[in-house]
Amino acid sequence: MLTVAQMVAAEQAVFDTGVSVDALMLRAGQAAGEMVWRIGGVVPTLILCGPGNNGGDGYVIAEFLQDKGVPVTVAAMTEPRTDAARNARARYKGDVIALADAVPKAQLVDCLFGSGLARAIDDAVWSKFVGLVTASRRSFAVDLPSGADADRAVWLNDPLPFDHVLALGAYKYAHLLEPVASDCRSLSLIDIGVAAQHGAATRIAKPVIVLPDAQSHKYRRGLVVVLAGAMPGAALLAARAAQGAGAGYVKIIGAGDATAQLPADIVWVRADDADTVGEALSDPRIGAVLAGPGLGRDSRSEALVDAALGCCHPLVLDADALHLIGARRQKVATRAAPVLLTPHHGEFEAMAEAAGDMATAPNKALRAVALAAAFNACVLYKGADSVIAAPDGRVIIADRRCAWLSVAGTGDVLAGCIATRLANHGQTLHALAEAVWLQDRAARNAGPAFTAWQLAQALPLAVESCLER
């Protein structure tokens, strides 16, 4: 996934090999045209061409579809203004009408602006454009819907859904981040021969989970410890999810004796004050500690967070714990063992306020990177477009998450899953990505509606689908 500037650099690297701008445009337009033809067949098609190279792609697509027998109408906003676009227009042998004279067709292909747009489209052009798109039965956008900002992932005009969006060469932030991502209903990546760029953000992929070997035992599989606070039910949800994600051993540390309320396969460790919590956390066999689900925000909760920060194990901080670490940012940042932070939007804003101004970050992904750097911790910024970020700038985006996850307790399940993946192999960014993918797959396996408990129970099947064979 590339920014506009990174995409320009990637294309320049192709040109440096001897490929001309015209040849690359031909490659992109024909590949996009083939996708339109495979989906739409010979449906009468209106292609809207803008003044730049995105418009040039449109002329190539028109020529391709015309050769396939598709009834094509090309409507141009203006004459082409780049050499490659002018050459593509000259190669196209069909008629071209003015955008103002266009009438709706069953199928529309948007090649007005693509990912190069930096300001809102003029009202008159936008009004005509919206009318043509909404009147079509099927709409395509080539590279990016016109009216969207590729890097900031926002609409510069009003939101306008497209049935199919054909990303040229690489995904852009707007393809995967809300609010634009939801309006790219079906998203396809069109290979045009550009190489991956160092440091570019990536889209989440199905993880590969290694089977336990013959030497594995419960501690090698990962001992996960969950700290229980004011609402121990949340800690229990996280613990059950930790088991479902493959932990070898799960303990809950909390005040009082809750043994009677726990399943027989989860151990309760009684710790009534910070000192006994700290003592319980001194076990060198612990693979990861989770603090936050149902923790509360009182003085005892603060003491539990301090005890967690003081231990020597990898640490996942979630939910209430995130509201308590603003004043402890230096402790988090200087901790020897890794820390993973899992905020939703409200928790993110609270931590961002404590960390300082992040207004210059243009989108959610880069804000997550800024927060990760401020706390020297890996961050999972949750949502329909979850962003996983490391302090060194690495970014993974999990877009189009299962909407049924908007249920109380699913965050606790995710936190337990993260703790297990971290305890299993200790790789922070991968632990977050694996857990996010597993939670989403478990949600889809669980059916159209579920409780958080049912989601936790669906995790083993999600893990099984990722096992290395």
Q: How far apart are the first and last CA of the chain?
A: 29
Against a cut of 0.85, is the pTM above it? yes
pLDDT for residue 354: 82
Question: Which CATH architecture describes the domain 218-463?
Answer: 3-Layer(aba) Sandwich (3.40)
Closest C-alpha to 391, from 462, 332, 322: 332
CB atoms within 10 A of CB 354: 16
CA dihedral 22, 27, 28, 33 (to 10 degrees): 120
pLDDT beyond 80 at 97: yes
pLDDT beyond 70 at 359: no
User: How confident is residue 357, by pLDDT bands cut at 50, 70 and 90?
Assistant: low
Helices (H), 297-377: 299-310, 320-323, 329-333, 345-355, 364-375
**Is 355 buried (19+), middle (13-18) or exposed (0-12) by CB count in 10 A?**
middle
Matching residue, tokens 């229980």: 228
Would strands 315-317 and 339-341 be described as parallel, antiparallel, or unpaired?
A: parallel
Average pLDDT on 196-223 reads 90
User: How confident is residue 184, by pLDDT bands cut at 50, 70 and 90?
Assistant: very high
Mean pLDDT of the chain: 95
116-154: pLDDT as tens digits: 898 999 999 999 999 999 999 999 999 999 999 999 999
pLDDT beyond 90 at 213: no
Q: CA 171: distance to chain centroid?
A: 12
Report how far residue 63's alpha carbon sits from residue 81's, in angstroms, rounded to the nearest whole number: 19
pLDDT beyond 80 at 469: no
Matching residue, tokens 């603060």: 302
**Is residue 293 reached through a cis peptide bond, with omega within 30 degrees of 0 on the bond before it?**
no
Identify which has the larger pLDDT, 181 or 263: 181
242-252: pLDDT as tens digits: 999 999 999 99
160 touches 147 (CB < 8 A): yes
Report how far residue 7's alpha carbon sits from residue 167's, in angstroms, rounded to the nearest whole number: 11
Name 270's Cβ contacts closer than 8 Å, sequence gap at least 6: 254, 255, 256, 257, 276
Question: Which CATH architecture describes the domain 4-200?
Answer: 3-Layer(aba) Sandwich (3.40)
Domain ranges for the chain:
4-200, 218-463
Report how far residue 26's alpha carbon sits from residue 30's, in angstroms, rounded to the nearest whole number: 6
Least confident window among 340-344, 356-360, 441-445 = 356-360
